[in-house]
């Protein structure tokens, strides 16, 4: 089993310069290899096989950085071509593009070879960099083996190391029981469960919107905001302020989602949710794109999935076309008029009256338990 832990790094000025050099060399090698592949295809109709070692003679500065970081760039490019042309790949990413020095993510991955990557006291040892000061907020177990480390720099200037560990763990599945919860997506509160509880009322982007708008307005008036214009020092400082606000919003959202998902994973054995396409729902045509993206519901489901799997519990996804809002949970009668989202109270002829979101959550829970039990019986 593999698990990654992300640590905050505090490099010295010399180490930060080395990180910047490695980021740049990885981007350079990626672009060179992609360019050679495209040129060979134009001439021969085939993509030539390329390696980072081919460019070290012409570009001597490539010898100064970690060779394993460059080797991983080659693997990344191969993976990009594979996902583009392989029909069996579920995720289509399009044809590989050149990496921009301005917009591409600053990161590289290095592998552990006989202790080249290690956690020593309050530092992380890295090839060609040495021991970098870090906040080791979570100590790995003695039997965990380090496989690799991914070094990255966020837009706000902070450095992180995501260390990947390999270890053996026997996960014992929890017996299927009625200790379950159904969650219905709500754009105004993350979710509504089958007991009528709302997940969260926080809108972190909306709460910081005025402050963000003010700083972005200042940024737009500074020298360097126009295309092709040289960026002034004041522009760079102001851009750093804007990036810090964006990061603060992101951290608030992540912290909240982690707390809620952990609480649910600890309390329930089965969690039933709808299989929704969040990217399509955030489309501007619905008029609630900001609220959908601000919720982070897709991220919340990913957290639930791995946290429940670690505990031997179950996440059941009900089909998105299942009419959970239209079926009466009490008698099972279908009400097509409930397709109108303006109707917020579900009322049935049998006398059952409830919030439409809670009724949907109850139906999702029942359908999820039915699916789980039928799959277990078939197996």
Question: What CA–CA distance (Å, rounded) separates 54 from 62?
Answer: 11
Mark whether 305 is an active-site residue.
Answer: no
Mark whether 337 is an active-site residue.
Answer: no
- Give the sign of the dihedral formed by CA 221, CA 225, CA 227, CA 233: positive
Residue 30: partners with Cβ closer than 8 Å, 6 or more residues away? 73, 76, 77, 98, 99
Q: Coil, strand, or helix at residue 145?
A: strand
Judge contact between 89 and 80, C-beta under 8 A.
no
Judge contact between 279 and 142, C-beta under 8 A.
no
DSSP, residue by residue, 202-250: --HHHHTHHHHHHHHHHHHTSTT-STTPPPPHHHHHHHHHHHHHHHHHH
Q: Which of 66, 193, 194, 274 is catalytic?
A: 274
Calculate the alpha carbon distances from 240 to 62, 105, 287, 346 in Å.
29, 16, 31, 49
- DSSP class of residue 259 equals H
Owner of token pair 């004041």: 234
Judge contact between 352 and 330, C-beta under 8 A.
yes
Q: Within its chain, how far is the Cα of 110 from the centroid? A: 21
- DSSP class of residue 98 equals P
Q: Which of 66, 193, 357, 367 is catalytic?
A: 357
Judge contact between 181 and 272, C-beta under 8 A.
yes
Q: Coil, strand, or helix at residue 67?
A: helix
Q: Which of 266, 268, 265, 271 is nearest to 364 (CA)?
A: 271
Taking CB atoms within 8 Å and a gap of at least 24, the contacts of 122-126 are 124/7, 124/9, 124/149, 124/161, 124/163, 126/66, 126/151, 126/161
Mark whether 294 is an active-site residue.
Answer: no
Tokens at 208, concatenated: 């910081």
Q: Which of 184, 193, 215, 269 is catalytic?
A: 184
Catalytic residue IDs: 184, 274, 357
């Amino acid at each position: 089993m593999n698990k990654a832990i992300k640590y905050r790094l505090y490099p010295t000025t010399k180490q930060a310069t080395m990180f910047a050099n490695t980021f740049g060399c990885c981007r350079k090698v990626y672009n060179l290899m992609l360019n050679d592949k495209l040129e060979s295809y134009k001439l021969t109709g085939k993509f030539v096989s390329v390696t980072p070692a081919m460019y070290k003679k012409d570009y001597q500065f490539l010898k100064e950085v970690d060779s394993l970081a460059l080797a991983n760039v080659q693997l990344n490019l191969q993976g990009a071509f594979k996902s583009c042309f392989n029909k069996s790949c579920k995720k289509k990413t399009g044809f590989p593009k050149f990496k921009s020095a301005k917009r591409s993510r600053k990161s590289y991955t290095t592998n552990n070879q006989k202790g080249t990557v290690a956690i020593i006291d309050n530092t992380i040892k890295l090839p060609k960099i040495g021991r970098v000061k870090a906040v080791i907020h979570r100590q790995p177990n003695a039997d965990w083996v380090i496989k690799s480390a991914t070094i990255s720099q966020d837009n706000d200037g902070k450095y992180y190391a995501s260390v990947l560990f390999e270890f053996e763990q026997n996960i014992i599945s929890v017996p299927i029981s009625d200790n379950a919860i159904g969650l219905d997506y709500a754009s105004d509160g993350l979710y509504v469960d089958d007991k009528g509880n709302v997940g969260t009322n926080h809108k972190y982007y909306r709460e910081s919107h005025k402050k963000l708008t003010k700083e972005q307005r200042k940024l737009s008036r500074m020298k360097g905001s126009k295309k092709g214009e040289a960026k002034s020092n004041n522009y760079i400082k102001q851009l750093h302020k804007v990036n810090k606000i964006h990061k603060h919003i992101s951290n608030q959202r992540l912290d909240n989602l982690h707390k809620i998902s952990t609480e649910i994973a600890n309390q329930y054995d089965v969690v039933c949710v709808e299989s929704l396409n969040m990217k399509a729902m955030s489309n501007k045509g619905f008029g609630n794109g900001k609220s959908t993206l601000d919720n982070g519901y897709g991220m919340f489901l990913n957290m639930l999935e791995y946290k429940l799997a670690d505990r031997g519990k179950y996440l059941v996804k009900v089909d998105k076309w299942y009419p959970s809002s239209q079926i009466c949970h009490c008698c099972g009668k279908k009400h097509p008029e409930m397709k109108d989202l303006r109707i917020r109270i579900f009322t049935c002829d049998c006398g059952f009256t409830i919030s439409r979101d809670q009724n949907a959550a109850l139906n999702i829970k029942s359908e999820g338990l039915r699916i789980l039990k039928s799959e277990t019986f078939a197996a």
